[in-house]
Amino acid sequence: MSGGQGGHDASLYQTDAGRKIIVIAHVLIIAGSDCSGGAGIQADLKTVMALGGYGMSAITALTAQNTKGVRAVHTPPADFLRQQIEACLEDIGADAIKIGMIGSIENAEVIAEVLRANPDIPVVLDPVMVATSGAALGSDEVTQFIKQTLVPLASIITPNIPEAEALLGRGIKSVDAALTAAKDLRDLGAGAVLLKGGHGKGKIVTDILWDGQDSHIFENPRIETRSTHGTGCTLASAIAAGTAQGMGLQKTCERAISYVHQAIRTAPGLGEGHGPLNHGLEKFQPKAISGRVKKMQ
Protein backbone atom coordinates (compact mmCIF):
# COMPACT_ATOMS: atom_id res chain seq x y z
CA MET A 1 0.00 0.00 0.00
CA SER A 2 1.11 3.51 -0.66
CA GLY A 3 0.63 6.92 0.86
CA GLY A 4 -0.30 8.20 -2.61
CA GLN A 5 0.02 11.86 -3.52
CA GLY A 6 1.10 13.94 -0.56
CA GLY A 7 -0.48 17.30 0.13
CA HIS A 8 -0.21 20.04 2.74
CA ASP A 9 -1.76 23.49 2.44
CA ALA A 10 -3.97 23.80 -0.62
CA SER A 11 -1.94 24.34 -3.81
CA LEU A 12 -2.37 23.82 -7.56
CA TYR A 13 -1.02 21.24 -9.98
CA GLN A 14 -1.61 20.45 -13.65
CA THR A 15 -3.37 17.33 -14.84
CA ASP A 16 -2.45 15.69 -18.13
CA ALA A 17 -5.40 17.46 -19.69
CA GLY A 18 -4.00 20.81 -18.58
CA ARG A 19 -6.76 21.46 -16.05
CA LYS A 20 -5.83 23.03 -12.74
CA ILE A 21 -7.06 21.09 -9.72
CA ILE A 22 -6.80 22.14 -6.09
CA VAL A 23 -4.82 19.66 -4.01
CA ILE A 24 -6.00 19.40 -0.41
CA ALA A 25 -4.66 17.27 2.41
CA HIS A 26 -6.05 13.74 2.50
CA VAL A 27 -7.06 12.15 5.80
CA LEU A 28 -7.94 8.46 6.09
CA ILE A 29 -10.21 7.85 9.06
CA ILE A 30 -10.35 4.33 10.50
CA ALA A 31 -13.21 4.29 12.98
CA GLY A 32 -16.77 3.24 13.77
CA SER A 33 -19.97 4.67 12.31
CA ASP A 34 -22.54 6.62 14.33
CA CYS A 35 -25.91 6.43 12.60
CA SER A 36 -27.12 9.54 14.45
CA GLY A 37 -24.30 11.61 12.94
CA GLY A 38 -22.77 13.12 16.07
CA ALA A 39 -19.70 10.96 16.60
CA GLY A 40 -17.51 8.42 14.81
CA ILE A 41 -16.95 8.49 11.07
CA GLN A 42 -19.73 11.01 10.52
CA ALA A 43 -18.25 13.55 12.93
CA ASP A 44 -14.75 12.86 11.60
CA LEU A 45 -15.63 13.57 7.99
CA LYS A 46 -17.51 16.75 8.89
CA THR A 47 -14.54 17.98 10.90
CA VAL A 48 -11.92 17.31 8.25
CA MET A 49 -14.05 19.08 5.63
CA ALA A 50 -14.67 22.07 7.93
CA LEU A 51 -10.92 22.49 8.38
CA GLY A 52 -10.12 22.31 4.68
CA GLY A 53 -9.14 18.67 4.21
CA TYR A 54 -10.44 15.72 2.21
CA GLY A 55 -11.70 12.84 4.35
CA MET A 56 -11.94 9.14 3.54
CA SER A 57 -13.24 6.37 5.76
CA ALA A 58 -12.62 2.74 6.60
CA ILE A 59 -15.40 1.59 8.91
CA THR A 60 -14.47 -0.74 11.76
CA ALA A 61 -17.94 -1.08 13.27
CA LEU A 62 -21.55 -0.10 12.69
CA THR A 63 -23.38 1.24 15.72
CA ALA A 64 -27.07 1.76 16.34
CA GLN A 65 -26.98 4.78 18.64
CA ASN A 66 -28.33 8.24 19.29
CA THR A 67 -27.76 10.99 21.83
CA LYS A 68 -29.15 8.76 24.58
CA GLY A 69 -26.80 5.82 24.11
CA VAL A 70 -25.54 2.87 22.09
CA ARG A 71 -28.17 0.20 21.33
CA ALA A 72 -26.16 -2.27 19.27
CA VAL A 73 -22.76 -2.73 17.61
CA HIS A 74 -22.06 -4.78 14.49
CA THR A 75 -18.43 -5.47 13.56
CA PRO A 76 -17.80 -6.40 9.91
CA PRO A 77 -15.10 -8.97 9.05
CA ALA A 78 -11.55 -7.70 9.47
CA ASP A 79 -10.71 -8.55 5.86
CA PHE A 80 -13.39 -6.10 4.75
CA LEU A 81 -11.71 -3.41 6.84
CA ARG A 82 -8.44 -4.23 5.10
CA GLN A 83 -10.07 -3.88 1.69
CA GLN A 84 -11.51 -0.47 2.60
CA ILE A 85 -8.11 0.77 3.73
CA GLU A 86 -6.31 -0.60 0.68
CA ALA A 87 -8.86 0.94 -1.67
CA CYS A 88 -8.22 4.40 -0.21
CA LEU A 89 -4.43 4.23 0.10
CA GLU A 90 -3.77 2.65 -3.29
CA ASP A 91 -5.74 5.31 -5.16
CA ILE A 92 -6.09 8.66 -3.40
CA GLY A 93 -3.50 8.14 -0.67
CA ALA A 94 -3.31 9.73 2.75
CA ASP A 95 -1.31 12.54 4.35
CA ALA A 96 -2.49 11.43 7.79
CA ILE A 97 -4.39 8.52 9.31
CA LYS A 98 -6.82 8.97 12.19
CA ILE A 99 -7.80 5.91 14.24
CA GLY A 100 -10.85 5.88 16.49
CA MET A 101 -13.08 2.98 17.55
CA ILE A 102 -11.42 -0.32 16.59
CA GLY A 103 -14.18 -2.81 17.36
CA SER A 104 -12.28 -6.10 17.55
CA ILE A 105 -8.82 -7.55 18.06
CA GLU A 106 -8.88 -8.77 14.46
CA ASN A 107 -9.45 -5.21 13.28
CA ALA A 108 -6.65 -4.01 15.56
CA GLU A 109 -4.25 -6.49 13.99
CA VAL A 110 -5.17 -5.32 10.48
CA ILE A 111 -4.64 -1.70 11.50
CA ALA A 112 -1.22 -2.49 12.97
CA GLU A 113 -0.19 -4.19 9.71
CA VAL A 114 -1.30 -1.13 7.72
CA LEU A 115 0.64 1.27 9.93
CA ARG A 116 3.81 -0.81 9.75
CA ALA A 117 3.51 -0.97 5.95
CA ASN A 118 3.12 2.83 5.73
CA PRO A 119 5.58 4.26 8.27
CA ASP A 120 5.79 7.65 6.52
CA ILE A 121 2.12 8.49 7.10
CA PRO A 122 1.60 10.27 10.45
CA VAL A 123 -0.97 8.63 12.72
CA VAL A 124 -3.39 10.26 15.16
CA LEU A 125 -4.67 7.63 17.59
CA ASP A 126 -7.76 8.34 19.69
CA PRO A 127 -7.83 5.36 22.09
CA VAL A 128 -11.62 5.04 22.12
CA MET A 129 -12.83 2.64 24.80
CA VAL A 130 -16.09 4.05 26.19
CA ALA A 131 -18.80 6.17 24.57
CA THR A 132 -19.99 9.43 26.14
CA SER A 133 -23.08 7.54 27.28
CA GLY A 134 -20.90 5.04 29.14
CA ALA A 135 -21.26 2.11 26.72
CA ALA A 136 -18.13 -0.01 26.24
CA LEU A 137 -16.74 0.22 22.69
CA GLY A 138 -13.97 -2.35 22.97
CA SER A 139 -12.82 -5.37 24.98
CA ASP A 140 -9.97 -5.55 27.49
CA GLU A 141 -8.01 -7.44 24.83
CA VAL A 142 -8.38 -4.52 22.42
CA THR A 143 -7.31 -2.08 25.15
CA GLN A 144 -4.13 -4.04 25.79
CA PHE A 145 -3.42 -4.24 22.06
CA ILE A 146 -3.82 -0.48 21.76
CA LYS A 147 -1.38 0.05 24.63
CA GLN A 148 1.24 -2.46 23.54
CA THR A 149 1.07 -2.26 19.74
CA LEU A 150 -0.81 0.74 18.36
CA VAL A 151 0.41 3.45 20.74
CA PRO A 152 4.07 2.91 19.70
CA LEU A 153 3.02 3.32 16.05
CA ALA A 154 1.23 6.64 16.64
CA SER A 155 2.57 10.13 15.99
CA ILE A 156 0.23 11.46 18.66
CA ILE A 157 -2.40 9.91 20.93
CA THR A 158 -5.39 11.85 22.30
CA PRO A 159 -6.79 10.08 25.39
CA ASN A 160 -9.24 11.65 27.79
CA ILE A 161 -8.70 11.20 31.51
CA PRO A 162 -10.64 7.88 31.87
CA GLU A 163 -8.80 6.45 28.84
CA ALA A 164 -5.45 7.57 30.22
CA GLU A 165 -6.33 5.98 33.56
CA ALA A 166 -7.18 2.71 31.77
CA LEU A 167 -3.91 2.74 29.83
CA LEU A 168 -1.79 3.54 32.89
CA GLY A 169 -3.75 1.60 35.50
CA ARG A 170 -4.00 4.49 37.98
CA GLY A 171 -6.15 7.49 38.81
CA ILE A 172 -5.49 11.03 37.58
CA LYS A 173 -6.90 13.56 40.04
CA SER A 174 -5.09 16.84 39.36
CA VAL A 175 -3.40 18.88 36.63
CA ASP A 176 0.02 17.93 38.01
CA ALA A 177 -0.98 14.26 37.92
CA ALA A 178 -2.22 14.74 34.35
CA LEU A 179 1.13 16.21 33.28
CA THR A 180 2.95 13.23 34.80
CA ALA A 181 0.46 10.91 33.10
CA ALA A 182 1.06 12.54 29.72
CA LYS A 183 4.79 11.95 30.11
CA ASP A 184 4.24 8.33 31.15
CA LEU A 185 1.88 7.75 28.22
CA ARG A 186 4.50 9.03 25.78
CA ASP A 187 6.96 6.61 27.35
CA LEU A 188 4.73 3.84 25.96
CA GLY A 189 6.13 4.79 22.54
CA ALA A 190 3.92 7.51 21.03
CA GLY A 191 5.49 10.52 19.38
CA ALA A 192 3.40 12.92 21.47
CA VAL A 193 0.41 12.94 23.82
CA LEU A 194 -2.51 15.34 24.08
CA LEU A 195 -4.23 14.48 27.36
CA LYS A 196 -7.73 15.97 27.27
CA GLY A 197 -9.16 17.54 30.40
CA GLY A 198 -12.86 17.58 29.60
CA HIS A 199 -13.60 14.94 32.24
CA GLY A 200 -11.89 16.99 34.93
CA LYS A 201 -13.57 19.35 37.37
CA GLY A 202 -13.62 23.11 37.76
CA LYS A 203 -14.43 26.09 35.59
CA ILE A 204 -11.36 25.67 33.38
CA VAL A 205 -10.72 22.77 30.98
CA THR A 206 -7.01 21.99 30.90
CA ASP A 207 -5.60 20.01 27.96
CA ILE A 208 -1.94 18.99 28.13
CA LEU A 209 0.33 18.42 25.15
CA TRP A 210 3.63 16.63 25.85
CA ASP A 211 6.01 16.13 22.92
CA GLY A 212 8.92 14.59 24.82
CA GLN A 213 10.71 17.89 25.46
CA ASP A 214 8.12 20.51 26.32
CA SER A 215 4.59 20.56 27.63
CA HIS A 216 1.98 23.03 26.47
CA ILE A 217 -1.04 23.66 28.65
CA PHE A 218 -4.20 24.78 26.84
CA GLU A 219 -6.76 26.40 29.14
CA ASN A 220 -10.31 27.31 28.12
CA PRO A 221 -13.48 28.04 30.09
CA ARG A 222 -15.67 25.02 30.68
CA ILE A 223 -19.02 25.19 28.90
CA GLU A 224 -21.87 23.74 30.94
CA THR A 225 -23.80 21.80 28.31
CA ARG A 226 -25.12 18.38 27.41
CA SER A 227 -23.89 18.83 23.82
CA THR A 228 -20.74 16.76 24.16
CA HIS A 229 -21.46 13.80 21.86
CA GLY A 230 -18.45 13.09 19.66
CA THR A 231 -16.05 15.60 21.19
CA GLY A 232 -13.16 13.13 21.29
CA CYS A 233 -13.70 12.00 17.70
CA THR A 234 -13.93 15.60 16.57
CA LEU A 235 -10.75 16.72 18.33
CA ALA A 236 -8.66 13.84 17.00
CA SER A 237 -9.90 14.40 13.46
CA ALA A 238 -9.16 18.11 13.72
CA ILE A 239 -5.61 17.21 14.76
CA ALA A 240 -5.38 14.76 11.85
CA ALA A 241 -6.46 17.52 9.45
CA GLY A 242 -3.80 19.89 10.76
CA THR A 243 -1.18 17.16 10.65
CA ALA A 244 -2.06 16.34 7.05
CA GLN A 245 -1.82 20.03 6.18
CA GLY A 246 1.73 20.20 7.53
CA MET A 247 1.00 22.45 10.51
CA GLY A 248 3.30 22.33 13.51
CA LEU A 249 2.21 20.17 16.44
CA GLN A 250 1.37 22.96 18.88
CA LYS A 251 -0.46 25.01 16.25
CA THR A 252 -2.36 21.91 15.12
CA CYS A 253 -3.53 21.12 18.66
CA GLU A 254 -4.36 24.76 19.41
CA ARG A 255 -6.55 25.04 16.30
CA ALA A 256 -8.23 21.68 17.02
CA ILE A 257 -9.05 22.61 20.62
CA SER A 258 -10.39 25.99 19.52
CA TYR A 259 -12.55 24.35 16.83
CA VAL A 260 -14.06 21.89 19.33
CA HIS A 261 -14.66 24.63 21.90
CA GLN A 262 -16.51 26.75 19.37
CA ALA A 263 -18.43 23.74 18.00
CA ILE A 264 -19.64 22.99 21.55
CA ARG A 265 -20.52 26.62 22.22
CA THR A 266 -22.66 26.83 19.07
CA ALA A 267 -24.12 23.30 19.26
CA PRO A 268 -27.64 22.97 17.79
CA GLY A 269 -29.16 21.35 20.89
CA LEU A 270 -30.45 18.22 19.17
CA GLY A 271 -31.65 15.06 20.89
CA GLU A 272 -32.70 14.17 24.41
CA GLY A 273 -29.29 13.07 25.67
CA HIS A 274 -25.71 14.11 24.93
CA GLY A 275 -26.28 16.20 21.82
CA PRO A 276 -23.97 16.66 18.81
CA LEU A 277 -21.63 19.57 18.15
CA ASN A 278 -21.89 22.19 15.44
CA HIS A 279 -19.33 20.72 13.03
CA GLY A 280 -20.39 23.00 10.20
CA LEU A 281 -18.71 26.12 11.52
CA GLU A 282 -18.76 28.55 8.64
CA LYS A 283 -15.34 30.05 7.89
CA PHE A 284 -13.93 28.77 11.18
CA GLN A 285 -11.67 31.29 12.90
CA PRO A 286 -9.37 29.76 15.53
CA LYS A 287 -9.04 33.13 17.32
CA ALA A 288 -12.78 33.29 17.98
CA ILE A 289 -12.33 32.22 21.63
CA SER A 290 -9.94 33.47 24.28
CA GLY A 291 -8.00 30.35 25.21
CA ARG A 292 -4.72 30.57 27.09
CA VAL A 293 -1.61 28.53 26.27
CA LYS A 294 1.21 28.02 28.76
CA LYS A 295 4.56 26.35 28.15
CA MET A 296 5.87 24.22 31.00
CA GLN A 297 8.82 21.93 31.54
Q: Distances from the Cα of 184 to the Cαs of 111, 147, 168, 200, 212, in angstroms? A: 24, 12, 8, 19, 10
Three-state DSSP class for residue 114: helix
Asked about 252 being catalytic, the answer comes back as no
User: Has 69 been annotated as catalytic?
Assistant: no
Active-site residue, selected from the candidate residues 3, 138, 230, 275: 230
Q: H helices then E strands: how many in the chain?
A: 8, 12
Q: Active-site residue among 40, 60, 233, 242?
A: 233
228 annotated active-site:
yes
Strand-pairing partners, residue 196, are 160
User: Contact 208/194 with Cβ under 8 angstroms?
Assistant: yes
Catalytic residue among 60, 231, 243, 252: 231
DSSP designation for 148 = I
Q: Is 230 a catalytic residue?
A: yes
Among 196, 197, 200, 275, which one carries the catalytic annotation? 196
The catalytic position among 100, 198, 200, 232 is 232
Rounded Cα distance, 2 and 20, in Å: 24
DSSP three-state, residue 70: strand
Query: Is 67 considered catalytic here?
Result: no
Q: How far apart are CA 55 and CA 53, in angstroms?
A: 6
Q: Is 63 a catalytic residue?
A: no
The set of catalytic residues is 196, 228, 230-233
